[in-house]
Amino acid sequence: MSFHWRSDAADGAARAGTLHTAHGPVQTPVFMPVGTAGTVKAMTADAVRATGAGIVLGNTYHLMLRPGAERVARLGGLHKFMDWPGPILTDSGGFQVMSLGALRTLDEGGVTFRSHLDGSKHRLTPERAVEIQDQLDATITMVLDECTPFPATYDQAERSMAMSMRWAARCRTAFRDRDGYALFGIVQGSVFPDLRARSAEALRDIGFEGYAIGGLAVGEGQAAMFDVLAATLPHLPEERPRYLMGVGTPDDLVGAVLRGVDMFDCVMPTRAGRTGRAFTSRGVLNMRNARHVDDAGPIDPDCSCPACARHSRAYVHHLFKASEMLGPMLLTWHNLTYYQSLMRGLRLAIVEGRIEGHARAVRARWVEVEAAPEE
């Protein structure tokens, strides 16, 4: 079975579809929980499945450093290693090298860096990045690219984008074709529309099973991000999945789906869960706030996760004040459940041809909470 994306419905630019992969189907639009080091933080694999997630993300940079891609391969691959038989997308590590790797040296061949863990020296090339993801048995492999820093001048962004396109061609050559597996290209070009268009056209000429929009959510702001999507998406093949990397807030997801994006990942719901912030159908709550100390109600009355079905806001508040590890576990479970529910609602609205009204209704409920901010 070849990897492919099938369109199930469209409403304006918004798309509902199904990814067919070697490790099972995935309905889109989809949010992928981030399992950077082979685990979604504070969650068991069963708990992640219970949120409704059908695909997760791993990371080349972190897994190559610890426990090592060769070790994961000897132990049966990442699916077996982390108890996730479904699809896994692995980021190539380009962003982490930029943000975490010390003493980074970039050249045409690749990037040399020192580990943020122990200072050991490593070399990552396009070919090696693809090889590592093959050893991990990633369902979807990402090309190695340079995540252009923001802000960047036009000339800086152009040079960075051009090198990423040359690296993408090398990744395509290095990739081992297998039924149901895919290699995604990554569009770069910072906030410059013509560079984004050139990057997208270059990737189309190379040919990939899917196309990602990278280099965003790095400080440019939502309006600029949406402008980049407007400049990029028309240049991507309609019959291939579109993945917006590292994004974002619920409002980011709604806006990007309306513009035609199919796939997302972000650490936001899990990181927020560990720090006491709850995403809900009525807005964002800070569960550390004293207003919850006597509240017997659920975090979100529209949610059926264990935190909402079995516990009160007062209990979750207590867990965080007492520094009990169950607090971050329950709130992470809740946040991921909310994100999956949000995506299911968007998909259903697309299928039923009411996405614009649905998006307005979702956002209107958030406004109600924002009008009464946390104390």
Q: Contact 279/303 with Cβ under 8 angstroms?
A: no
Contacts of residue 322, Cβ cutoff 8 Å, sequence gap at least 6: none
pLDDT at 374: 53
Q: What was the pLDDT predicted at 101?
A: 60
Kind of pairing between the strands at 110-114 and 102-107:
antiparallel
pLDDT value at position 259?
A: 98
Q: Is 165 exposed, middle or buried (0-12, 13-18, 19+ CB in 10 A)?
A: buried
Q: What is the dihedral angle through the alpha carbons of 65, 69, 75, 81, rounded to the nearest 10 degrees?
A: 70
Pairing of strands 283-286, 182-187: unpaired
Architecture of domain 4-266: Alpha-Beta Barrel (3.20)
Whether the per-residue pLDDT at 367 is higher than 90: the answer is no
Taking residues 156-160, report their average pLDDT. Answer: 97
Answer with the residue of higher pLDDT: 367 or 26. 26
Give the mean pLDDT of the chain: 95
Residue positions annotated with a catalytic role: 91, 265
Residue 91: per-residue pLDDT = 95
Amino acid (one-letter) located at 154: Y
Q: What size, in residues, is the chain?
A: 375
DSSP state letters, 137-158 = T-SEEE-------SS--HHHHH
- Give me the residue spans of the domains in the chain: 4-266, 273-370
What pLDDT is stored for residue 84 in this prediction? 98
User: What is the model's pLDDT at position 52?
Assistant: 98
Question: Which of the residue ranges 26-40, 91-105, 130-144 would you say has the lowest mean pLDDT?
Answer: 91-105
**Taking residues 326-349, what's their average pLDDT?**
98
Q: Does residue 368 surpass a pLDDT of 70?
A: no
Looking at residue 140, its pLDDT comes to 99
Contact, 265 vs 339, CB < 8 A?
no
The residue type found at 62 is H
Peptide bond into 248 cis (omega under 30): yes
Question: pLDDT tens digits for 96-133?
Answer: 877 776 568 899 999 999 998 999 999 999 999 999 99
Full-model pTM: 0.97
Longest dimension (CA), the chain: 60
Provide the residue type at 185 as one letter: G
Q: Is the predicted pLDDT of residue 57 greater than 70, yes or no?
A: yes
The string of DSSP codes covering 178-226 is -TT-EEEEEE--TT-HHHHHHHHHHHHHH--SEEEE-S-SSSS-HHHHH
- pLDDT beyond 60 at 261: yes
Position 96 scores a pLDDT of 84
Per-residue pLDDT, averaged over 214-224, amounts to: 96
Residue 94 confidence (pLDDT) above 90: no
Using alpha carbons, select from 198, 196, 203 the residue that is nearest to residue 224: 196
pLDDT at 70: 98
